[in-house]
Structures are given as C-alpha cells and as structure tokens.
C-alpha cells in the first residue's frame, strides 16, 4: 500500500509551547548567570550536570533514530519526527559546553597535575586540556554530522517519497551505531569520570549509556503522548504503540539498574581503595541519603510504576513515569557530579535550579522551532502505513 494513503494534516503547535519554553529558558538563564557571578566553581559543576543531560537527550535520541533504521522498526515510524526533533539538541551542545570549557581548570583537577604524583603524570597523555578539547569538538562534529545527514534525508523524503533515502539512512545508521558506542563511552569518561581523575570503573561508559537511552526515550515519550492525545499525529495510533514505548522504558530501567548494581557490587566486593573512593565520597554526610534515594528514584519507583501491562498502555501513567524517569536521570547525573564539589554533604539550592530550567526551556524551544518548519509525521516514509497499523 502506498504511503500517500495516510491522511495527515499538519497542525501548528499551540503557542504556549513557545511561551513556556521561553519562560523556562529565561528563568534558567538568569539563575545560571547569577550563579556564575556568585559561585563560578559550583556553577561549573552544575554546568556539567546540565551538559551531560543535554547530551543524553540529544545524542540518545540520535541513537534511537539510528536504531529504528538499523532494526527496521516499523512501530516507531509514525512518531519518529519527535525523536528527530529531540536529536536536534545536538546543535546546542556547544552553547552549554563553552562556559564549562572556560572553567575547565576549576572543575577538572587533572588540568594541573602535581609533578610528584606519578599516577596523574602517567595519565597526562590522555587527560590534558588540548586533547580534551580535541575530543570534545571531534565527538560533537561526529554527532552533528550524522544528525544532519540522517534528518536531512528523512525530511527530504516527505516531499520526494524516495525509498532510496531510507536505504541511505540505514547505511548511515549502521556506521553511526559503533561510532556512538565509542564516543558516548569516552564522553562519559571525559565529562563525568575524569571529575575524580584517579578513580576508574570499566563499566562507566555503559552506565552512562543506559541513562542516556532512558533519558532520550523518556523525553520522546512525553512529547509523543502529549501530541498524540491532542491529535497532532495521524489517526490510528493505538495503545500498542504506548505499550511498546512503556516496555522499552521499563526494559532500560532494568538495564540501568543491572549496570549500576554490577558497578557497585564489583567495587564493593573487591574493596580496593582506589575504586571504593568514589562510593565513599557518595556516602559522606548527607550524600548518603542521595545515594540511597537513587535506588528508589531511578529503579524502584519506575519499576513498579511500569510493571503491569495496563500501566504501560495508560497515557497518563506513561506520561507521569516518563517525566519521573527524566527527573531520575538528572538526579543520577547530579549524584555523579556534585559530590566532587560538596565533599561534606548535599549541595542543593537555587543555583542547582538554573540548568534544569534552562535545558527544559531549550528542548521545548528547539522542538517548537523544528515543528514549525517540518511535518510532525514522516509522511514520505514507506514504513509509515505499517507503523500506524502496528498491533502487538
């Protein structure tokens, strides 16, 4: 059946998306600016949380996009544009990264190693400012390049209905996925693990990857459910689509817990000082509560929230759990980053609010901007009709 038989009338997003997005962005920007004036070091640490969160949503979405092409997934095609719009946040990574790169010396202690410290001197060939910036830029260009071509082909297909564009995107995605695996692991090491430069965990890249996919899925699900309930997509999307999204969220919640626990168990069992130091830092003072809270926020609550079959199909529950999981990922990044700043106890105040608001606003604005110029449904995709008819 030709995809032209799918009826789609483009509806403009309500203006409140832009209004709320701008308000959040402005509020976030003011708090971040004030934060950088009053306490640049603390703000720089917050900046890392914000930046890694944006990478999670942007690059994670690009990964989901590539996954759909590589796996030949049909069910996610009707709302693939949402994932594409979220991946557009890759453009904004430099915006959040530049203030951080200006403060690179205050946050990353490996930038000024003690010459007597042999470990740090041995790590210097990898951990030095020049190579760090080279990596940051190279990774960003790689992500941006793949995003640019994949989304360009996808948009072009809306008008031309050319099936060879799908094939081209499958090829691009196949190349992208191994590149993604390597870049996201090294990005995790660069931005998060090197905050405590003597500590190492071989599973850390996978740990960040699990959170990345979860965040991208959750952010996508929020938009998909909201837009579908208000009728912005084509007719015929059923609870089976919701169920699949919920099942993926549930699966990656478990995957995250599995990886997080693997990391903890091995370090706890071996009890080597150079490894346990990271968890001990997260057990100091009130950090203990944040650490224990992570288990509940990131695993127990989403697990039971999405366990039953009806809960994955119920749009309201799915929306709540997606928002919660997005929050949980921010919480996770906060837990990884901030104990490097506040060593005695939890650091939480108005300054920590800046980046979440700023990034939430940015994501909404980017989405709104993209939705203006592009269709919300990839109407030229040959898989669209089958995607709409998808039943479990």
Partner 1 sequence: MSGKILYSYTGIFDTPDQIIHAAEKAVEEGYTKYDVNTPYPVHGMDEAMKLKPSKLGYVALIFGLSGTLSALLTIWWMSAINYPIVIGGKPLFSFPAYVPIMFEVTVLSAAIMTVVAMLFFFFKLPNNSHPLHGTVYMKKVSADKYGISIQADDPKFSESSVRKFLESVHAAEIIPIYWDEEEINHQNKIFEPKFIVFLAAVALITSGVTYFSFNKLMYMVPFNWMMDQPKLSAQQSSPIFTDGFGMRQPVAGTVARGYMPYQFKGQSDIAGAKLINPIPVSKESLALGKTKFDIYCSPCHGYNADGASRLRGQFPNPPSLHSDKVRTWTDGRIFAVITEGQNIMPSYSSQLSVDERWAVINYIRALQRALNAKESDVQ
Q: Does 174 bind partner 1 (CB under 8 A)?
A: no
Q: From CA 282, how far away is CA 390, in angstroms rounded?
A: 45
Q: At its nearest, how many Å lie between partner 1 and the CB of residue 391?
A: 5
Q: Does 261 bind partner 1 (CB under 8 A)?
A: yes
Q: At its nearest, how many Å lie between partner 1 and the CB of residue 293?
A: 17
HSE-CB for 316 with a 13 A CA cutoff: 0
Structural contact between residues 53 and 333, judged by C-beta atoms closer than 8 angstroms: yes
Check residue 13 and report its DSSP letter: P
Contacts 24+ apart (CB under 8 A), 303-310: 303/250, 303/253, 303/254, 303/257, 306/246, 306/249, 306/250, 306/253, 307/250, 309/243
Q: Does 265 bind partner 1 (CB under 8 A)?
A: yes
Q: At its nearest, how many Å lie between partner 1 and the CB of residue 75?
A: 13
Q: At its nearest, how many Å lie between partner 1 and the CB of residue 299?
A: 12
Nearer to partner 1, 119 or 309 (CB): 309
Q: Does 268 bind partner 1 (CB under 8 A)?
A: yes
Nearer to partner 1, 231 or 310 (CB): 310
- The torsion region of residue 231 among left (phi > 0), alpha (psi -120 to 50) and beta comes to left
Kindly indicate which of the ranges 7-15, 208-216, 267-275, 350-358 contains the residues binding partner 1, using the contact rule CB under 8 A: 267-275
Structure tokens at 318: 């799915």
Nearer to partner 1, 159 or 265 (CB): 265
Check residue 272 and report its DSSP letter: -
Q: Does 309 bind partner 1 (CB under 8 A)?
A: yes
C-alpha torsion 326→99→85→223, nearest 10? 30
Please spell the DSSP secondary structure of 318-375, one letter per residue.
Answer: HHHHHHHHHHHHHHHHHHHHGGGT-SSS---SHHHHHHHHHHHHHHHHHHHHHHHHS-
Residues in contact with partner 1, counted by CB under 8 A, come to a total of 10
Kindly indicate which of the ranges 28-36, 265-273, 354-362, 371-379 contains the residues binding partner 1, using the contact rule CB under 8 A: 265-273
Kindly indicate which of the ranges 102-110, 268-276, 333-341, 379-387 contains the residues binding partner 1, using the contact rule CB under 8 A: 268-276
Closest CA to 359 of 138, 135, 52: 52
Structure tokens at 368: 């709104």
Q: Which residue from 178, 271, 273, 373 is in contact with partner 1, where contact means CB under 8 A? A: 271
Q: Does 269 bind partner 1 (CB under 8 A)?
A: yes
Please spell the DSSP secondary structure of 229-287, one letter per residue.
Answer: HTT-S-TT--HHHHHHHHHHHHHHHHHHHHHHHHHHHHHHHH--HHHHHHHHHTTSTTH
Q: At its nearest, how many Å lie between partner 1 and the CB of residue 40?
A: 38
Encoded one letter per residue, x for contact with partner 1 by CB under 8 A and - for no contact, window 350-389 reads ----------------------------------------
Nearer to partner 1, 265 or 348 (CB): 265
Q: From CA 245, how far away is CA 283, in angstroms rounded?
A: 35
Encoded one letter per residue, x for contact with partner 1 by CB under 8 A and - for no contact, window 226-245 reads --------------------
Structural contact between residues 238 and 307, judged by C-beta atoms closer than 8 angstroms: no
Q: Does 392 bind partner 1 (CB under 8 A)?
A: yes
Kindly indicate which of the ranges 45-53, 81-89, 187-195, 262-270 contains the residues binding partner 1, using the contact rule CB under 8 A: 262-270
Q: Does 304 bind partner 1 (CB under 8 A)?
A: no
Kindly indicate which of the ranges 6-14, 60-68, 178-186, 259-267 contains the residues binding partner 1, using the contact rule CB under 8 A: 259-267
Residues interacting with partner 1, by CB under 8 A?
A: 261, 264-265, 268-269, 271, 308-309, 391-392
């Amino acid at each position: 059946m030709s995809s032209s038989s799918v009826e789609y009338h483009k509806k403009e997003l309500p203006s409140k998306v832009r209004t709320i997005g701008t308000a959040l962005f402005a509020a976030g920007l003011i708090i971040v600016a004030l934060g950088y004036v009053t306490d640049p070091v603390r703000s720089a640490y917050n900046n890392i949380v914000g930046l890694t969160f944006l990478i999670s949503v942007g690059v994670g979405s690009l990964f989901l996009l590539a996954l759909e092409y590589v796996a030949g997934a049909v069910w996610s095609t009707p709302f693939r544009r949402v994932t594409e719009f979220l991946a557009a946040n890759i453009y904004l990574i430099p915006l959040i990264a530049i203030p951080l790169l200006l403060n690179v010396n205050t946050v990353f202690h490996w930038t000024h190693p003690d010459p007597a410290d042999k470990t740090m001197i041995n790590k210097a060939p990898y951990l030095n400012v020049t190579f760090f910036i080279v990596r940051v830029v190279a990774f960003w260009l790689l992500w941006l390049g793949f995003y640019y071509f994949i989304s360009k082909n996808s948009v072009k297909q809306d008008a031309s209905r050319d099936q060879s564009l799908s094939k081209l995107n499958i090829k691009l995605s196949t190349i992208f996925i191994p590149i993604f695996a390597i870049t996201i692991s090294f990005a995790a090491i660069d931005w998060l693990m090197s905050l405590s430069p003597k500590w190492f965990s071989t599973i850390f890249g996978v740990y960040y990857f699990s959170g990345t996919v979860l965040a991208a899925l959750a952010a996508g699900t929020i938009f998909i459910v909201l837009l579908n309930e208000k009728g912005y997509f084509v007719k015929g999307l059923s609870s089976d689509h919701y169920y699949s999204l919920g099942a993926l969220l549930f699966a990656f919640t478990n995957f995250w817990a599995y990886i997080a626990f693997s990391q903890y168990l091995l370090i706890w069992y071996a009890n080597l000082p150079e490894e346990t130091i990271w968890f001990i830092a997260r057990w100091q003072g009130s950090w203990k509560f944040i650490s224990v809270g992570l288990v509940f926020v990131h695993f127990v609550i989403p697990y039971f929230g999405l366990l039953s079959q009806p809960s994955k199909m119920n749009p309201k529950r799915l929306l709540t759990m997606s928002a919660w999981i997005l929050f949980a990922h921010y919480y996770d990044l906060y837990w990884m980053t901030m104990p490097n700043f506040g060593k005695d106890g939890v650091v939480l105040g108005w300054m920590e609010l800046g980046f979440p608001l700023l990034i939430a606003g940015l994501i909404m604005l980017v989405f709104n901007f993209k939705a203006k110029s592009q269709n919300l449904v990839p109407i030229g995709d040959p898989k669209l009709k089958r995607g709409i008819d998808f039943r479990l």
